[in-house]
Amino acid sequence: MFECISQTAIALDRCTSILRLVLAGEMFVNRETRGVEQLEMELDMAAAELERQQQERPDT
């Protein structure tokens, strides 16, 4: 009986370790995705500003 409980505890510990790795990976991906979304937003804003400046500039 003790052997079964011990093996179950070891298996649960391994599962917990795997789940922690998965969670850490998910957090990393989410952080990187937010970074990419931020860059895309900044690029869109810069493109809009450039377009606005070009429209305001008189044609030569």
9-32 burial string, b = 16+ CB within 10 Å, else e?
eeeeeeeeeeeeeeeeeeeeeeee
Per the confidence metrics, is the pTM higher than 0.85?
no
pLDDT of residue 60: 55
- CA-based radius of gyration for the chain: 26
pLDDT in tens, 1-54: 888 999 999 999 999 999 999 999 999 999 999 999 999 999 999 999 999 999
